[in-house]
Amino acid sequence: MFNTPFRFISLAIAGASLTSVHVQAAQNLSSMMVEIRQQDGIPSYYNLATGMPLNGDIAIVRDNQGYTLGQFSEGIPNGKWQVFHTNNSKLVEGNYQQGYQDGTWHMFDLSGAVTEEQQFAKGVPTGEWKEYNSSGHLSQTTRYQDGKKEQVKRFYASGKLQAQESYLDNLRYGKWESFYENGTLSQSQSYANNQLSGSYLEQNPNGQATVTGRFDAEGRRQGAWETFFDDGTKSSSSQFNLNLLEGEERTFYPNGELASRCQYSAGQRQGKCQQYNDAGKLQVEEQYVNGALDGPQQYFNAEGILTSALNYKQDLLAGTQKYFHNNGQLKELRNYQDSKLTDNGQYPLHGPSERYDTEGNLLEKSHYDMGFKDGLFERYHAGKLQSSEQWRQGQRHGESRRYHNNGKLRTLDQYVEGKPTGKSETYFDDGTVSERGERIDGQWVGKYESFYDNGKPREVSHYARDKKDNTSRYPLDGHFARWYANGDPNEEGTYQNGNKEGLWIQYSESLKQREQTFANGKLNGNYAEYYHGRRRVTGEYLDDQKTGLWTDYRYEEKDPTYGTIPEGNVQQKSHWQENKRHGIREFYSFKQVVYRSETYDKNDKTGPYAEYYPNNGQLKLSGAMDKGNQTGLWESWFEDGMQAASTEFLDGQSHGQTKEYYSNGQLKLEAIYAKGSLDGQVKQYHQNGKPELVETWVKGQKEGDASYYHNNGKLAEQGTYLRDRREGLWQSFWPNGEKRTEGSYLSDRESGDWNHYDQLGKLIKTEHHG
């Protein structure tokens, strides 16, 4: 039987949402306090709080889920039944009779419009059920008799019939029809025992048949089936037996021309199958055996010219295949094995293969053995041979040649089992050699030569014939030389087991540019660089590191101020140890007089330092360095040997007493420094020995009394500093000793009254400064 009572009870509990019920009810209950029990298919409602069945008018409310109003008799729905949405919109309305839906039931949308009308007789669907669209128009009717569906009608929004269906015992039965909105029949079919049976028809809106056919009693297509274009012209005709194509099937173009014609047996293509274009030209002619391509196949272009003639065996390419250009010329010839399959389930290429251009010129010629290239493989361009290769079982084996467009040999290589092994030669298009040698597994061995296109040598090298297992290349071993394109030498030397060994010379413009000595691939021994034949650098290496005496030379031939420079004129000499300067480094003038001497300790300037006058070698500057910083006493002299200055340093900063002298030996300055800053009394003298200034400094700033003197020894100015700024009373004096100005400073700015006097001591003006 139908379980329709459950449908609306569930809807009542789970399909609404309210927090309070604004209706009259004997009792309001939360759905959480209601239990539903089933007995003989009829629901009974109980109050969980009391354990008693519901009676009378009850509102069942679920928090934020709406409510249901129902009438109950001993827990069984009996009487009016309504379901409401959260906004109090009615969703369902009907009546129960002792737990069964009875009479007319209505469904509503949220706007209150009826969406469905149902009829029940004690829980059993009966009569006519109706459904409405959102506009309120009838969209479907369903007729029930004793709970069984008998008829369904569907309607357009306009109210016109869209389809009608008939049923027997709830199974499809009888004629089914659908209609266009203009009333024309769209589709007609019949059912028996829920299976399609009898004639079948589809039509367009004009009433023209588009599909016709028949079904047997088992719902299988049987006999002739035809399809039509909208104008009634036949589109296809087929024969079916037990739902499988049988016999000839034809398809047509709208102009009536035959589009295809195929033979079928038990649903599979069998025999010839042809396709045509709309001009009646044959496009495809295939042969089938049990649904698989089998035998000769032909394919044509739009003009009816053959483009391919293929052979198949059970859907697989087998035997000879031919492809043609649109002008009918042979494009490609392939041959496949036709009795042995490979692991991928296909017949492999087997026998000769060829390709041609549109003019019939050969492009490629090859031979295969069970899918592998085997034998001669040739390529052509414009009728000329481009390459020729020997293959064996998918690997190059034997000679491989390539040619220039003029027909001359471009490359000649020998292969063994896919690897370049044996002679290898390359040629320019005039036939002269570009490079030649011998390879093993693609790597050069023995003598190798390369040449420029003018025929002059480019490189000669020698390779060993043995190598380590973990390396791919064979090591260079023996004489090595390179040349420039004009024939001048570039580099020459000797390799021993991959390492440079002995003397190596590099050239520029036919002159030596560099000489290096190697042992076991490392620089060891004498080293020299040249510039246009003149020495630039000489020295010595030990295991790739500079060592011993290194000399830099002036390699230019002339100097704008000095004139002609003799070859070998030393610029500097330095001593090295383990690739670091270590020991004395001397710089030389053009006249080969040392003008500077430095001492290094493993690349750090550490030790005695001296500078000399280049004209006479007289000592100019002397001191000591500690890791690049001046340290201890430093002294300097004038070119005649008179002392010029003496300064004490600590960590690269002046620290201690400093004195400077005029060239006549007269003291010029004496001061005290602390960590690079003046700190203490500073005295400076005129060249005549009279004082020039006396200042006091504290940590790099003037602080305290300061006095300044004229050349005649008389006071010129005096005052006080505070943190490097003039502060308090300051006076200045004329050279004759008379006062010149008097006033006060405030933070290095004139302040208050300032008096100005003439050379006779007479006040001449007073200025006020704010």
pLDDT tens by residue, 330-364: 999 999 999 999 999 999 999 999 999 999 999 99
Mean pLDDT of 240-248: 97
Tokens of 338: 């036709």
Closest CA relative to residue 103, chosen from 132, 130, 123, 78: 123
Residue 770 has what pLDDT? Answer: 80
Mean pLDDT of 270-291: 97
- Residue written as token pair 């035809």: 226
Mean pLDDT of 462-468: 96
pLDDT of residue 10 exceeding 60: no
Mean pLDDT of 643-655: 96
Residue 63 has what pLDDT? Answer: 76
- The span from the first CA to the last CA of the chain, in angstroms, equals 117
Mean pLDDT of 740-767: 95
4's enclosing H/E stretch is helix 4-14
Whole-angstrom CA distances from 526 to 516, 522, 547 are 6, 12, 10
Each residue of 421-456: pLDDT tens digit? 999 999 999 999 999 999 999 999 999 999 999 999
pLDDT of residue 189 exceeding 80: yes
Residue 549 has what pLDDT? Answer: 98
Each residue of 692-726: pLDDT tens digit? 999 999 999 999 999 999 999 999 999 999 999 99
Whole-angstrom CA distances from 253 to 123, 202, 226 are 58, 20, 14
User: Is the pTM above the cut of 0.85?
Assistant: no
Whole-angstrom CA distances from 18 to 7, 11, 62, 64, 114 are 20, 14, 7, 5, 22
Tokens of 279: 């001009």
In whole angstroms, what is the distance from residue 476 CA to residue 464 CA? 6
3-class SS string, 669-731? EEEEEECCEECEEEEEECCCCCEEEEEEEECCEECEEEEEECCCCCEEEEEEEECCEECEEEE
Where do the domains of the chain lie? 1-90
Confidence of residue 24 (pLDDT cuts 50, 70, 90): low
pLDDT of residue 20 exceeding 60: no
- DSSP result, 333-380: EEEE-SS---TTSSPPB-EEEEEE-TTS-EEEEEEEETTEE-EEEEEE
pLDDT of residue 641 exceeding 50: yes
Q: Work out the mean pLDDT of the chain and round it to a whole number.
A: 94
Each residue of 136-181: pLDDT tens digit? 999 999 999 999 999 999 999 999 999 999 999 999 999 999 999 9
